[in-house]
């Protein structure tokens, strides 16, 4: 294994004007679809958007985040039972996929292919940025991309060649002991939590982050500013209703 790429990669949010050719993207998709997939059903679709008129409809769905607006391409990865069920219909096979378990299988397939795409893209010299807004504003994305029933946006990537930024290193992570359990789950003591999150809390940029938001702790920046309950609940309902309308009425 060559760990160098994995230990140094980071999200890119600023892109150069260098053209990302269709051939480069086609090659990345060709390799990405070899990601593992439930029963080899490939329960996803990958929508590559570079047309400025369609990008202009996607940008507000991604809250006009600079990474989305600056990128020459937005790639939207959707959980997709539409294609597989169509094949079933043509084959006199009675499909039973409008339920939570099937939806989760499609989501897992979609996430696996998304990350494989991102890794190959980055190894090919491109920069990528996940856009979490893919699930926040799924109805707007579905409209912009003409998504039929049983097709649900799960992840989007802003993709382009990175603007040179030699000073940017890898983003901080929790220590391995914080995320890895040996043999069985061992729950965290208060001291273990403090050991895990202390170094992040003490980083100058995070101290600044706490101060500029008028908060006492870094965790409060996450709970009160970045991911507040009201927004989580609002977007949760929006996504849940969209998924049900798309043909996955839970529970089922």
Ligand X SMILES: Cc1cc2nc3c(=O)[nH]c(=O)nc-3n(C[C@H](O)[C@H](O)[C@H](O)COP(=O)(O)O)c2cc1C
Which of 108, 56, 123 shows the shortest CA–CA distance to 77?
108
The residue written with tokens 């926040």 in the block is 136
Take residue 65 and report the two structure tokens written for it. 């985040």
Q: Decide whether 13 or 150 has the Cβ nearer to ligand X.
A: 13
Secondary structure (DSSP) of 72-102 = SEEEEEEEE-HHHHHHHHHTT------SHHH
Site string for ligand X, 147-186 (x = CB under 6 A): ------------------------x---------------
| Per-residue x/- track, 9-48, ligand X (CB under 6 A) | -xx-x-----------------------------------
Q: Which of residues 112-131 bind ligand X (CB under 6 A)?
A: 129-131
Q: Interface with ligand X by CB under 6 A: which range of 8-16, 35-43, 204-212, 217-225?
A: 8-16
Residue 60 as a binder of ligand X (CB under 6 A): the answer is no
Q: How many CB atoms lie within 10 A of CB 178?
A: 13
Residue number with CB closer to ligand X (226 or 245): 226
Provide the Cα torsion 186, 188, 192, 196; round to 10°: 100
Q: Which is nearer to ligand X, 63 or 87 (CB)?
A: 63
For the bound state, the minimum distance from the C-beta of residue 129 to ligand X, rounded and expressed in Å, comes to 5
Q: What is the DSSP letter of 117?
A: H
Nearest approach, Cβ of residue 157 and ligand X (Å):
9
Residue 150 in contact with residue 98, Cβ under 8 Å?
A: yes
Pick the closer one to ligand X by CB: 57 or 83: 57
Q: Which of 49, 76, 110, 133 binds ligand X (CB under 6 A)?
A: 133
Which one, 35 or 129, has the nearer CB to ligand X? Answer: 129
Distances (CA, A) of 94 to 56, 97, 100, 154, 245: 40, 10, 18, 26, 21
Q: Which SS3 state, helix, strand or coil, does residue 16 take?
A: coil
Q: Residue numbers of the site for ligand X (CB under 6 A)?
A: 10-11, 13, 65, 67, 129-133, 171
């Amino acid at each position: 294994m060559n760990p160098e790429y994995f230990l140094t990669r980071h999200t890119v949010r600023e892109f150069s004007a260098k053209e990302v050719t269709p051939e480069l993207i086609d090659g990345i998709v060709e390799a990405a679809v070899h990601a593992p997939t439930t029963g080899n059903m490939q329960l996803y679709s990958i929508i590559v958007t570079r047309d400025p008129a369609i990008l202009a409809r996607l940008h507000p769905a991604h809250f006009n985040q600079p990474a989305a607006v600056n990128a020459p391409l937005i790639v939207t990865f959707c959980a997709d039972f539409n294609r597989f069920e169509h094949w079933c219909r043509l084959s006199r096979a009675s499909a039973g996929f409008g339920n939570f378990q099937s939806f989760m299988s499609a989501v897992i397939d979609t996430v696996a292919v998304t990350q494989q795409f991102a890794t190959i893209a980055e190894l090919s010299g491109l920069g990528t940025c996940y856009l979490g807004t893919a699930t926040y504003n799924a109805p707007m994305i579905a409209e912009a991309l003409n998504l039929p029933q049983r097709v649900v946006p799960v992840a989007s990537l802003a993709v382009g060649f990175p603007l040179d930024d030699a000073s940017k290193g890898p983003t901080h992570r929790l220590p391995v002991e914080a995320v890895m359990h040996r043999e069985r789950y061992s729950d965290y003591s208060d001291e273990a939590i403090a050991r895990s999150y202390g170094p992040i809390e003490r980083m100058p940029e995070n101290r600044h982050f706490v101060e500029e938001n008028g908060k006492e702790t870094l965790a409060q920046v996450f709970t009160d500013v970045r991911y507040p309950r009201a927004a989580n609940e609002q977007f949760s309902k929006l996504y849940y209703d969209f998924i049900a309308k798309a043909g996955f009425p839970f529970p089922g």
